[in-house]
Structure 1
Amino acid sequence: MDRYIHAPDPATGLDFLWRRLAALAALLLGLGLALWPDFARAAPGEIDITLQARHWIDPSGSLDIDEVARRPVEDFAAMERYRSFRLDGGVLWLRLELPERDAARRWYLTLSAAAFTNRATLYTAGPSGAWTSQQAGDHLPVSQWAHPDQTPVFVLDSQAAGPVWLRLENQPAPVSPRLIVLDERQLQETRQWTFLMVGGYLGFGLLVLFIGWVHARLYADRAFIAYCCYVACMLGFQAAFTGVGGLFFWPDHAAWNDAAPPVFMLWLTASGIWFVREVCMVSRHHRGVDRLVLAWSVFGLLFPVLYLLLLNRPAFILLNLYGLLSVLLSFSLCIWTWRRGETYAGWMALGFLPVHLAYPFPALRSAGLLPDSWATQYAVLIGSAIEIPLLLYILHRRA
């Protein structure tokens, strides 16, 4: 009798891997949903002083601290709600009356959820009246910040006399201050949990990226290559958007730290459209639509060059419109090709849904319609943690 040696079916091994991957995704998602909601508000012992601040915009952006401090208090409006400020070349000054603090502990002022503020400077007056300044922001290398961190952090001098002054500038996006006072232990705990969750997300994303590349080699399918580009851009965007990239990956490069969020956002969107084009086989259904989709993707790939050269309000509006319209385009392409017989296009529409539902939070923040918050900083990250493995599983079944 002839004996046959059957080679193992690659799909069987991949199915086993998928079960382990799904379990890991569920674990990470559960941890994130259990822990991150606590970051949406000040934790016990932390003090949110945003609504206690008084604000004034210097339209010229040229006044120094002495000139601003001499202005009457009546010139500074009360911060009655969490809001965004469109500066248009000006500078936002915040007058802060700090609450009573335990002198035995070291205290910090943090700009929570503001990893992409161009420049933030805190001025405090000593007993002699001399001003001391601390600087942070993505126009300054993170390694040169007064206190290098994920977002601007400032030490509060216990000997400071009178109010402290915070100078904020950001262009072309609005600035949305959210000010938290916390002690050294609370700051360290917040950092540890944030780095654990973001680090777990990035590690999980790299694992999924590796598996996607294995699929690309195994099936020789361009859709997997487009998927790998999409995931790589998503990981880069989240590293830049959360401030982890500036702190760990490019701490000495201020120009890239400033450019990375919009660049990765555009590349992410462009690669996502290319990914949809490949999976939904748009060229099979209409050549004109296929060329339009390809041109849309190429525009997103090249637009960062023009955006960084202009860096003005119209370019910023165009960036946000490109992101919004790309969400609508990708969903429309999935539904259109699904109705024309592409079975997995319908599943792709569902696979993109977690990020599509989370996208309005950072988009509305960029437009100045929402203030900085936990949701604007982490909603897309959580959505992509669900979306990335789900899309890969759909691709695996399709292959």
Structure 2
Amino acid sequence: MSARFPAPWWRHIWLAMLFALAAALAGTALAESEPARRWPARELGGAFWVDHTAAATVDQAHRAFATGAGRPVNPNQVMPLGPGTAVWYRLELPRVAEPTRAVLRIAFSGTDSVELFRPDGGGHWRTQRSGDSLPVADWPVRHIDPSFAFDLRPGEDATYLRVRNAQPIRVQWTVQNVTSFIESVKAWHFVLGAYAGFIAMVVLVSLFNAVSWRDPIHLYYAVHVAMVAVSIMALTGLAGEYLWPDQPWWTDKAPVVIPGLSIAWVGLFLRELVAERGRPILSWLLYGHVVTATLMVVAFLVVGRENVYRAPSIFALPGLLVLLGVMVWYSRRQPKVGLWILAGMAFLMAGALAPLVHNLGLVEPSFLTDFGPQLGGAAEVPLLLIGLYFRSRERHASRERLKAMAHTDPLTGLANHRVLQRRLESVLRLARKDPLAGAVLRVHVANLADIRAEFGREAGEAALVRAGECVAKEAREGDLVAREQGDDIVLVLGGHPTQGQAAIGGRNIIARGLKYSGRLPPGVTLKLRVAGFAPPLPESGDPAGLLQTLARLLLDIENDPHGRALRFVGSPDSSPWRSSPWPKHDELPPQSPPTVDELLSLEHSRPKRTSSLH
């Protein structure tokens, strides 16, 4: 039985996947409807001032902007942040006619430090702090991005924002009232929650596939999917909000460490997928990728983001191209599986490359540079799942064929000698308790040597296949047809057949051999000889002895002066000639067995037809 999901299971799984994707699309639609209710950043006036000492106070920043040091804000500008540098923003918030509860959100979850300074009306400043330098649990608003809640009042003075980060980034923000913010948070969390549920389902399906298909590639894939999902959660800030809200150090490092380890794991996953005997270079190439990616992650942790933040990007470009090249090579060798895997990996790598090339200053910031990894990871998961399903199905079919070869004869498709031995042992063991149980017929192709000599080896093999068909048509449920060593076919009858019933079966086998078949050369038929053991079988016998006894009886049949083609051990004249199937023993008339000439005369009276060897 094939080790795969029953059809209803697969139907439920795919319906669940479609529901999750539909939920994600619905959430995206909700999220996209929010900007109409926000005050978007590009509609806000503002200016920025770079503090190269990172030590200026809010009063100093206030004086700097008052003296005209600030420059107009461009939301797409990459700010020159880094160690020892801070950027101050003077925010011109929307004018309101009445006090409004508002939320300011910085649209980058990995910002190290963000501080909001607002006047308190008495000449002082109210300060709120957020960013990866603080635990998410201590942020003013616990959210995926640094956010601040405050009361926006009519005619109030400017608000200042100070941003620090270990590397240059774009600083974008949105301001909206609390109601709009809560609605947008619900929509965004709905999308991420649907995606997380989809990933959890894929991981469970992969674990089930690993067990049912007995293919470890699904374990590698389950780990890969989980790492991609956690990477996306770390990049979006969802992990910092829910998984480690009290670990600011890890919140800051995770968006680089986890994707880096995920890229390293892709090398192990592909190595397990494409590894072949005699191709050690490919395996070592992928192992080298894994080691290099891991070393980059270690260097990032040891040296710090500010010193090596470009190094992972520089490595990732050739590293991802190596992985893509391996997948192209594999898809050419295994297109049915490889093309699905290649498509999924291409989406993932394209999404990962977008922010990398932006970090290297090769492209301008865009939606893809911000959300490329998330989009690529979402598209990759179902494509790889489909490709691995086809791979495991093919491997399972190959294993089944190999397993069948251990029990069947590769030429005739019948049971082999090993299976025959086990069945005969079982029949003889049963015969000791039930003397009337079981019967054995051994069939020999008397003209096989002549066919081989005249028409060649292929014709001889076709003759054996045809002999197997003649015997197999006489088998019933519970019987066994096997090819014995020496090109003989053995039929083991189950149940309680009488000698007369076994003799009828032997006669039918001989008659079928005399019929013309398209498998054989024109004008060639099979001369079959049958030796049988009818109940009671010998109590002290063994399979080898039983088969040898039948082999000796076949030799006697070849030398039979009367030309008999069928004999039973201990009963030389026990082959009845009747056309009715399986008669009762007491209904058999006392007849002499048919000779070969009598059987041939019946066939010669029929018109011959031309046939060819298949």
* Pairwise same-fold verdict (TM > 0.5): yes
Q: Which whole-Å deviations, capped at 9, do the CAs of 1:30-87 have from their partners, x for residues lacking one?
A: 4434542665696112112346221111112111212111114421111245222131
Alignment partner of 1:128 out of 122, 128, 146 = 122
In 2, distance between residues paired with 1:44 and 1:183? 12
Contact 1:46 1:182 in 2 (8 A): yes
Asked if residue 275 in structure 1 is aligned to residue 292 in structure 2, the reply is: no
Q: Which moved more, 1:356-365 or 1:211-220?
A: 356-365
Asked if residue 147 in structure 1 is aligned to residue 155 in structure 2, the reply is: no
Cα 1:321–1:192, aligned 2, differ >3 Å: closer, same or farther?
Answer: same
Letter in 1 for 2:302: L
Asked if residue 295 in structure 1 is aligned to residue 295 in structure 2, the reply is: no
Partner of 1:210: 204
Normalized per residue, the structure richer in helix is: 1
Partner of 2:301: 308
Alignment partner of 1:59 out of 43, 46, 52 = 52
Three-state SS of the structure 1 residue aligned to 2:163 is: strand
Q: Percent identity?
A: 24
Cα 1:298–1:330, aligned 2, differ >3 Å: closer, same or farther?
Answer: same
Deviation of 1:204 (Å):
1.1
Q: Which moved more, 1:331-340 or 1:36-45?
A: 36-45
In 1, distance between residues paired with 2:284 and 2:354? 31
In 2, distance between residues paired with 1:184 and 1:142? 19
Asked if residue 44 in structure 1 is aligned to residue 36 in structure 2, the reply is: yes
User: What is the aligned length?
Assistant: 387
Q: Which whole-Å deviations, capped at 9, do the CAs of 1:221-251 have from their partners, x for residues lacking one?
A: 3322221221111111111111111111111
Partner of 1:103: 98
Asked if residue 333 in structure 1 is aligned to residue 326 in structure 2, the reply is: yes
In 2, distance between residues paired with 1:155 and 1:135? 11
Cα 1:372–1:242, aligned 2, differ >3 Å: closer, same or farther?
Answer: farther
Q: Which moved more, 1:36-45 or 1:46-55?
A: 36-45
Three-state SS of the structure 2 residue aligned to 1:11 is: coil
Three-state SS of the structure 2 residue aligned to 1:303 is: helix
Partner of 1:116: 110
Partner of 1:349: 342
Deviation of 1:278 (Å):
1.4
Contact 1:358 1:380 in 2 (8 A): yes
Cα 1:353–1:319, aligned 2, differ >3 Å: closer, same or farther?
Answer: same
In 1, distance between residues paired with 2:248 and 2:186? 24
Letter in 1 for 2:131: G
Contact 2:111 2:132 in 1 (8 A): yes
Deviation of 1:277 (Å):
1.7
Contact 1:354 1:386 in 2 (8 A): yes
Partner of 1:25: 17
Letter in 2 for 1:196: F
Cα 1:179–1:12, aligned 2, differ >3 Å: closer, same or farther?
Answer: closer
Partner of 2:217: 223
User: What are the equivalent positions in structure 2 for 1:351-370 lying under 5 Å apart?
Assistant: 351-367=344-360, 369-370=363-364
Q: Which moved more, 1:362-371 or 1:175-184?
A: 362-371
Q: Which moved more, 1:52-61 or 1:309-318?
A: 309-318
Alignment partner of 2:77 out of 59, 62, 83 = 83
In 2, distance between residues paired with 1:351 and 1:144? 39
Q: How high is the TM-score relative to the length of structure 1?
A: 0.89
RMSD of aligned alpha carbons: 2.4
In 1, distance between residues paired with 2:203 and 2:61? 51
Q: Which whole-Å deviations, capped at 9, do the CAs of 1:301-350 have from their partners, x for residues lacking one?
A: 34322211112455211211333333212221011233345752233111
In 2, distance between residues paired with 1:27 and 1:353? 25
Contact 1:116 1:243 in 2 (8 A): yes
In 2, distance between residues paired with 1:59 and 1:394? 52
Partner of 1:3: none
Partner of 1:165: 160
Cα 1:192–1:78, aligned 2, differ >3 Å: closer, same or farther?
Answer: same
Deviation of 1:29 (Å):
3.0
Letter in 2 for 1:26: L
Asked if residue 179 in structure 1 is aligned to residue 164 in structure 2, the reply is: no
Q: Which moved more, 1:189-198 or 1:44-53?
A: 44-53
Cα 1:372–1:253, aligned 2, differ >3 Å: closer, same or farther?
Answer: farther
* Bigger radius of gyration among the two: 2
Three-state SS of the structure 2 residue aligned to 1:199 is: helix
Asked if residue 382 in structure 1 is aligned to residue 380 in structure 2, the reply is: no
Cα 1:45–1:306, aligned 2, differ >3 Å: closer, same or farther?
Answer: same
